[in-house]
Structure 1
């Protein structure tokens, strides 16, 4: 089994390429994340951390460099294959939960599993197991509007982990919460990641939260440096 979950090598990204307003956000960024490792990504707004996460999660493509997940080079894959890898092997969590408002907490976690080929019975059992692990099983039948901000984000964590991904990518996952709720929700996220043994890259402005991860990296002038 490959011990490296994510490897980025020489990642470059340029916006408005060839125009007078051209901006090079990433300038040859390298990143290796081992299996089971949780890495904090710290950077000011506009430094390119969301771009880096999108490239790592195959939502965007670099202008140069390579992306490998679990030892497989993803750089030349077509859109259909990239989508299949994202569905099976990558989980995303954002600052805003982006839950589907017309579905219950349970259904929001069931849907990605059905898209990945699971049966309804198995998907519902998995969803309830995840909800229970983060302490919101009693809210399974509630729609997002009936949940608190912390509960919404816990459900979003469960949705991201529903298909048992190898890699979790989180972009300021507690940035929209007050400090007390943020600490509680972040603790639930880390516990869930540790329990599953997946790898994670979590972007945060909160240095206290970053210090609870295995390693801190700073995105500085388009390059990653040890924190």
Structure 2
């Protein structure tokens, strides 16, 4: 860990080293049947990584350092917003922290609101379904419809070898609800400060932090 412990995949030829950087864990690809309520619960667990922020909070830390970043999931195909003024629903170990409505707002699929009993198939990995994971209690009794021996790295490697070029479309699917007057800070690689920020209207460089990380200010 440290300021240089970030993945940087430049434009151009993709190597096996880059693939190992993108996915370093020996997990298998799996798929389970879930409901809309369980998808919301999954995203609530991910949204618990963020600190609670109030209006006019200035340069508060965005992330809870006790929450492992690898437990932050984004589910492709859905859109939603996160309300940082609401308390996190879960502790980092998965215990319920707040029984309120949570942080996830406006959860939609194909442009329509997700209903509680709406059926979905969720592609995930074997670690997410392991008994020690943050998400496993949510879906412990769900039907697993795909669980093969192939490792995720191997599946990705075969996929890449079959294609001469890969274009990854930019599909922003989640955002923060506005928090009037609030800003938050998060750390990144120092080299990232020399590159264009993805949302210059809401992000600005804030120099280096005391541990050498690049620091970005998010305008909420």
Q: TM-score range by the shorter chain?
A: under 0.3
Give the TM-score taking structure 1 as reference length: 0.25
Query: Which structure has the larger Rg?
Result: 2
Higher helix share: 1
Give the TM-score taking structure 2 as reference length: 0.25
